[in-house]
Structure 1
């Protein structure tokens, strides 16, 4: 075939030739013609004049028809022609004669309008640490059709849209997040699974807000549900509670003894002497761990309420002097002399107010 002499002409229903560019790739037997203008719905013909290398020619005409299959929007209010802020599915039909939509019962070539969508409460347990942004929704089929439904990729391209409002966006920003922190999740009747593909952008249809869209969608399963989710950022880590053993600053002997903490490990202590002085320096009381009658005064202990292994021993004073009489109101100085098992000594001084 002489590709240089052969040609293709595309004509509309009135016989007018359409502008375009003819091309032949060297070494192949394919002659191509690319139309340079958009085609509207209607009847057309491709007229091919084939010329052989010997000079013989023939004209072949092939009629064809163009009809735009169109786009269907599945909205919570029904099937609509213009997308809105509650449009959750976009179906682009590639073939006017076959939708490529089939249901579980073997019904084929279903109209896109048999697909319904409704907003629902979130089913099942959400993934740990995730929260829903916007609405949770579910697809179903009009009776008598049943899920699952499949979409033939040769006949239709299907996308699912998940919308969120300006108020939802403000919520995200208020938590230090943005749309890149959103993810799409699908529920299969038992658990949620994250969908990792998709694109995001501002919504420009009827209404306002934003949406996240992913495609292609090949099927819809029974008990399905879809949602946009985000991980709520962790708040400041709460500091572990700390318990501080504080010696008594002031006490009323009628309500309880004063506590003077002195050691965590009594096994390291061989003796403790307690000297109590008035503010003027007069010794009014002396006790000693080594004296059997006074040992109990040094063996009291408190336990950290947050850590049972943290124990503190204290010396207990009832506000009395050496003769057992309760002292008058005032500030008293308590000096502890602690002798350790290794022979070392430690002195500790505390002040407490006696108030009756």
Structure 2
């Protein structure tokens, strides 16, 4: 595979490239968890409609000229449903059940997963819902597809799996209000991750003015900023995962009357649209497919530096080994490590006046 290739996407479309499957002549196809890539460009795929919750991946699909729709949009069933299931098993099972809901009578569902991300288990799960499958392997990935379907082979199991990634209340005394709403597949969906907890432990109470949370997830850092920083007059949450952003909206709903809140489905690495007095962030360091991407954290730091007012403050937490010091030193007038524990570091960076 060449650099920048997407083995799972290439393998997903392998049955169409080698003639094992034919692209539908009418009715098109729905691609759940779609990603842009060469495999979608080198052959005609008429009627293809894509869904994607990640803002960077959605923008890449748009740049490639592909049709995007939101999950909540109504549409007819399709004779073909493609999907790249996520690694998180409950979310993947819910997506398999949804794929069967979206396929037209007589249609097929085609899925692909990398071997290291549970391809064998994913194949077994789809077989439980849909019956016997055909399978091909290439690029350390496995593509598997159903026979022509008239409905789930196990309707009761499909009905149960539809609910597996539904939002749910999770009790935690460390969260204002005693708990939060989350769902499988979101980062640290059922817990407060150790890095964010360390940042909150050292977060000062004197943050004030216009504040932003970059990579806000389901809203934990933003909730703590509002709980402990009375001088905050407005708070913007930036998050690339649409599912996480909706959870943050729900978790911060009670705070909305007190402080103006805005929720941005946005790729922070492309920059921010306005200036801030302070920014907090626990930036991601993995791409959508799970590959390490320390450049994402560096891009978050650069975006924060460009968006802060003179004298503005960035409070950042990161894995201790990640090489962020060079971009911090180049972007800020003052940088200090506030705490290091359990493999994480908390940094305060001040933009020069």
TM-score by length of structure 2 reads 0.19
Q: Which of the two has higher C-alpha Rg?
A: 1
Choose between structure 1 and 2: higher helix proportion.
2
TM-score by length of structure 1 reads 0.19
Choose between structure 1 and 2: higher strand proportion.
1
